[in-house]
Amino acid sequence: MEKLRKAVNEIAYTQHHAKLSHLQLSLIPILFFASSLYSAALSLRRALYRSGLITEHRLPVPVISVGNLTWGGNGKTPMVEFIANYLADSGISPLILTRGYAGGDEAKMLYRHFLGRPVKIGVGAKRAAVAAHFFERYGYVDPCSSKHSEGLCHGEKVGSCLSSEKIGTVILDDGMQHWSLQRNLEIVMINALTLWGNCHLIPRGPLREPLNALRRADVVVLHHADLVSKQNLEETDLMLREVNKSVPVFFTKMDPCYFFNVGNATSRKPVEDLSNTIVLCVSAIGSANAFAKGIEKIGAFYVDRLEFSDHHKFLAKDIEMIKRRLRELEDRFSSKPVVIVTEKDYDRDPNIFKHLDPYEVLSLCSKLKIIPNRGCTEDSFKKMLEVCR
C-alpha cells in the first residue's frame, strides 16, 4: 500500500508522462476515471449548498478558515497555530476545530503546544456539533457585537470580559472544503514548492477543487516561499492574480527554533548544534522535501532522507529499515548519524522512535514566519485577522 501511495503521489506532481514508470502509466486511466467521479460528486455537493438544500451553519462568533486546494504539506497547521497564538495574546480565546484525521497527529501536537494557554481544541468531523458542545460548556463572546451571549458581560468592552473560558473566535482547520460552516475570513495555503502539481483533481492529481475556487479566497499564502526562487514566486503571484485580482498574497516559511530528544520532549537543543553532522531525515508528512531542504539550510554536513506517505503510522519493519540506512551511513562516513523527525511524526507515536537506540533521534520544532512582500507583512496580516473591527 505504501508503494501504491508513493506511485500515485508521483503521478500527481509529475508534469510529463515520460518521467513515469510503466506501473504509473498503467494507473492513469483508473485514476482519471476516479477523478471524473470525484468531480461530478464535487459539483453536485456544491450545487446542493448553493440551492439551499443543504444548509450552512452560522456560529455565534467569527470564523477564520484555514484551508488549501491540494492534499497535504501546505502549512495549514502552522498557520492555525500562528493565528491562535495571536488571538490568545490579544485577549481573545480561540477554539480550533479540526477533523483529527488519521489518528489526530496534528491535534496531538496542538494540544501539546497550547498546554496552559487559553486555546481550546475541538476534534471531530461534524465540526458544527463540536463547536456547539464547546459553546455550551464554556460560553462565548462575540467580539463583533456589543450583544453577548446570555450570562456574559453586557455593555462592557470585549477585552475586559474575555477570559480563558469564554470562546471569542473559531479557527477552522482544513476548512476550505468544509462548506457546512459559514466563515468570516477564508485563508488559502499553497505549497510554493509543489503548487498544484499536474492540475488534475484527486486522485489523478492533487487538487481538491478546480483552481477557480481561489476566487473564494480572502487571503492567499504561499508557504515555503524561502525555498523557491524569486522568479518562481513572482510567476506564481501573477498567476494567482489572474484568478483573483484583488486577493492579498503573503509569503511564509518555517523558522527552526530548536530540537528536542524524542526520549524527553522537554529537552532543548539549539539548531546550530546540527552543523557538520550526518543527518537522516525521516518523515511521513505532506511536504517531506521542504522538511529535508530546511535541515540542509541549518548546515548539516550531509542529509539523507527516508520518506513515507502523509500520516503513515510507523511500524517495527519501518524501524528496521531506518536502522539499516543508519548503519550504511555510519559505515560510509565513519561517524554516527543523527535521526531528525518532524513534530507531527513524533506526536503520532511518541515511543516508536525510541527503538532506534543507540542512535540519537531529535524532533525539529519550527514556527511559521511571515516574510515581508510588497506591503504584505506580519502586521498587515494580523490586521486582516480582525475580521469584525
Same domain, 234 and 318: no
pLDDT score recorded for residue 355: 95
Q: How confident is the model at residue 49 (pLDDT cuts 50, 70, 90)?
A: very high
pLDDT score recorded for residue 23: 84
DSSP string of 185-233, one letter each residue: EEEEEEETTTTTTTSPBTTTSSBSS-GGGGGG-SEEEEETGGGS-HHHH
Distance CA 115, CA 112 (A): 5
Q: Distances from the Cα of 270 to the Cαs of 170, 256, 273, 292, 311, in angstroms?
A: 34, 9, 6, 18, 27
Q: How confident is the model at residue 204 (pLDDT cuts 50, 70, 90)?
A: very high
Mean pLDDT over 43-66 rounds to: 94
Mean pLDDT over 62-90 rounds to: 94
pLDDT score recorded for residue 155: 34
- Which of 67, 137, 74 is closest to 99 using CA atoms? 67
Given CA atoms 336, 340, 341, 347 in this order, what sign does their dihedral have? positive
Same domain, 183 and 298: no
Q: Residue 319: helix, strand or coil by DSSP?
A: helix
Q: Is residue 57, in this structure, part of any structural domain at all?
A: no
Same domain, 128 and 239: yes
Q: Half-sphere exposure of 157 toward its Cβ, with a 13 Å CA cutoff?
A: 4
* CATH of residue 362: 3.40.50
pLDDT, mean over the chain? 90
Mean pLDDT over 164-169 rounds to: 87
Q: Residue 45: helix, strand or coil by DSSP?
A: helix
Percent of the chain at pLDDT above 70? 93
* pLDDT tens track for 253-303: 999 999 999 999 999 999 999 888 999 999 999 888 999 999 999 999 999
Q: Distances from the Cα of 311 to the Cαs of 122, 261, 283, in angstroms?
A: 20, 21, 9
Percent of the chain at pLDDT above 90? 76
Let me know: does 99 contact 338? Beta carbons within 8 Å: no
Let me know: does 75 contact 225? Beta carbons within 8 Å: no
Same domain, 143 and 291: no
* pLDDT tens track for 309-321: 888 899 999 999 9
Residue 362 is placed in which grid cell? 531529535
Q: Is residue 58, in this structure, part of any structural domain at all?
A: no
Distance CA 356, CA 5 (A): 25
Mean pLDDT over 100-111 rounds to: 80
Distance CA 95, CA 104 (A): 16
Whether pLDDT at 71 is above 60? yes
Is the model more confident about 158 or about 316? 316
Q: How confident is the model at residue 143 (pLDDT cuts 50, 70, 90)?
A: low
Q: Is residue 56, in this structure, part of any structural domain at all?
A: no
Same domain, 276 and 221: no
pLDDT score recorded for residue 16: 80
- Which of 200, 178, 226, 206 is closest to 67 using CA atoms? 178
Whether pLDDT at 157 is above 70? no
Model-level pTM?
0.90
pLDDT score recorded for residue 309: 87
Same domain, 67 and 187: yes
pLDDT score recorded for residue 144: 59
**CA end-to-end span of the chain:** 49
* pLDDT tens track for 322-374: 999 999 999 999 999 999 999 999 999 999 999 999 999 999 999 999 999 98
Q: How confident is the model at residue 163 (pLDDT cuts 50, 70, 90)?
A: low
Same domain, 247 and 286: no
Question: How many structural domains comprise the chain?
Answer: 3
Q: Distances from the Cα of 106 to the Cαs of 11, 98, 115, 179, 345, in angstroms?
A: 26, 9, 14, 21, 9
Domain interval for residue 19: 2-51
DSSP string of 330-382, one letter each residue: HHHHTS--EEEEEHHHHHH-TTGGGGGTTS-EEEEEEEEEEEPBTTB-HHHHH
Q: Is residue 322, in this structure, part of any structural domain at all?
A: yes
Same domain, 71 and 201: yes
Distance CA 79, CA 74 (A): 9
* pLDDT tens track for 144-155: 554 444 333 333
Same domain, 282 and 243: no
Whether pLDDT at 102 is above 80? no
Same domain, 207 and 344: no
Same domain, 142 and 205: yes
How many CB atoms lie under 10 A from the CB of residue 197? 21
Whether pLDDT at 229 is above 70? yes
Same domain, 168 and 33: no
Whether pLDDT at 79 is above 80? yes
